Structure 1
Amino acid sequence: MQFPTRIDVDNEGYILNKTSLDKIDSEYQELLTQVVEILKKCAGTKLHSIYIYGSVGRGEAVLGTSDIDLSVILTSPFSLQEKVRLAEKTEIFISDNPIVPKVDYDIGITADVIKENSQYFWGFWLRHVCTCIYGEDLSLGFPKMKPNFHICKALNQDLIDTLISYRKEILEKEVDNYKLLSILKRIVRGVYCTVAERDESWSTNIQENLLILKHYFPNEEYFKKIECVFLQQKLPTLDEMLNYIDYFIVWFNESIKSKL
């Protein structure tokens, strides 16, 4: 691998969007139609637009393993009753379709998406990570972007709070193997994001992320340990996971401060 890798950017250095309608496997197209109908019924006139991201949108989904990941933009927030109704209908959908273990909804409000300082969060997210599958495509209002630290800071603004929340779940024994892997992936993606500008890349592949991190942090033992987890498919113990979380809370906090 040559460095900088320039993975997943075009010839001019702009980040490629690896999702598209054409890449969605036929098995998921009908499932997405059902989920869109659920959202239309639960959100009503509040529903502005829906966007697919993640492995389904990239055409990399594995039946029975991959979640359906959606960003949902509303004109106003859900009421408690609407949230409950969406959760109930989604649970029924998953029960009827066991090839989908989970449906994740990232909820946004149109006023937040289009406000002036949202470019590096919602603008980047919709333009470079998602594909619109319903409604008015707000991504068209944002420019193409190159890897930069502003995107990293925006996407990881809740990373430390998320890791603290994960720590609490582990201590309360409320995690399974699937969740442990998700935590490790969140750590890897969050840390890779801090070197994406330097590497002139925007990789969504965990193995690529780890190779890049090992290059830029050759003396960082934790990256080597996490790579072994994925290569050997042997999950860390809960105590080891707590060590990872504690370490990277400090690591990420110091990395952000050093670039401010």
Structure 2
Amino acid sequence: MSGPPPDPRGLDPQGYIAPEGSLARVPPPFRPVVAAACERLPLVFGERLNSAYVYGSVPRGTARVGRSDLDLLIALRAEPTDADRADARALDEALDKEFHQIDGAATLVVGREQVLSELERHDLGWFIACLCTHLLGEDLAARLPRYRPDSLLARETNGDLALLLPRWRERIAATDGSETALRPLVRYMSRHLVRTGFTLVMPRWQGWTSDLREMADAFGAYYPARARQMRAAALLGHAPRGDAAVLRAYVDDLGPWLADEYARVHGVKAPRPS
């Protein structure tokens, strides 16, 4: 199916994906949180810290007080250890406890060499270059290429859904089935499926957006039979409810269909080390 004409939003004049966030866009209520993170990251990681970034709704300027979380990414000079990840979790907990503006904090810890590796160039590298806003240290985006919304980028970012679905089923089975336990899974899986659906059509749509509703609408223009499901997932990505039926539909219907269609259109993501 042909779908609508290309939509060049999110691209620079040369057709490359433009960085979507900046510190200037951080809403005033969240600026003290970002400032605290900048102050504490060097204290926690010291000389191990190579680079630090913020991403998500805060640098995009769309964060909502009491509803949005603080998403950080740090690249260490060496590969991260379990102790490094524990330090990151402790920092997240401290920030969440101190600042009512955020509904949690999450720090992704990676190694500098991993970011710059050929294997991660169109996944983690793209993520840092286009979706992260630099805070501290070396900006690794300067060592990475510019990116177009093409099939290679689609494959390497979200071409692994088939591998994720068994893990999702395990996570669902491991909960106690309560609304409280299921709500974060609905939020996470809804967002992941919407983003995967969007990158499926991204090379045809020829643009970039991180807005879940826009992603679902773009997908629906090419796959009208699945449009209602994807728009519902976008809504649940913003306002999740702990509904086991939603999760079953994700792992038994929408997810498997999307994984198969993704592999047919773009192929499967290059294998990563276990």
TM bucket by the smaller chain? 0.7 to 0.9
Residue of structure 2 equivalent to 1:60: 62
CA RMSD in angstroms comes to 2.5
Residue of structure 1 equivalent to 2:6: 4
Checking the alignment, whether the CA contact within 8 Å between 2:92 and 2:106 is kept in structure 1 is no
Where do 1:1-260 residues align within 5 Å? Answer: 3-171=5-173, 172=175, 173=177, 175-220=181-226, 223-228=227-232, 235=241, 237-258=243-264, 259-260=266-267
Checking the alignment, whether the CA contact within 8 Å between 1:147 and 1:196 is kept in structure 2 is yes
Which piece of structure 1 moves more, 61-70 or 154-163?
154-163
Shift in Å, 1:251: 2.1
Q: Which consecutive unaligned segments of at least 5 residues does structure 2 have?
A: 268-274
**Matched residue SS, 2:134:** strand
Query: TM-score, with normalisation over the residues of structure 2?
Result: 0.83
Distance in 1 (alpha carbons) for counterparts of 2:159 and 2:234 = 26
Checking the alignment, whether the CA contact within 8 Å between 2:150 and 2:203 is kept in structure 1 is yes
Distance in 2 (alpha carbons) for counterparts of 1:117 and 1:78 = 18
Distance in 2 (alpha carbons) for counterparts of 1:120 and 1:217 = 25
- Cα displacement string for residues 62-111 of structure 1 (whole angstroms, at most 9, x for unaligned residues): 11111111121011133333433332342122112222122122222111
Distance in 2 (alpha carbons) for counterparts of 1:231 and 1:139 = 32
- Cα displacement string for residues 150-170 of structure 1 (whole angstroms, at most 9, x for unaligned residues): 212222255444443333333
Distance in 1 (alpha carbons) for counterparts of 2:145 and 2:206 = 18
**Matched residue SS, 1:194:** helix
Shift in Å, 1:56: 0.3
Query: TM-score, with normalisation over the residues of structure 1?
Result: 0.87
Checking the alignment, whether the CA contact within 8 Å between 2:159 and 2:262 is kept in structure 1 is no
Cα 1:41–1:163 change in 2 (3 A) is farther
Percent sequence identity over aligned pairs: 22
**Matched residue SS, 1:119:** coil
Match of 1:218, as an amino acid? P
Which piece of structure 1 moves more, 234-243 or 21-30?
234-243
Cα 1:122–1:88 change in 2 (3 A) is closer
Checking the alignment, whether the CA contact within 8 Å between 1:42 and 1:82 is kept in structure 2 is no
Match of 1:140, as an amino acid? A
Shift in Å, 1:131: 1.3
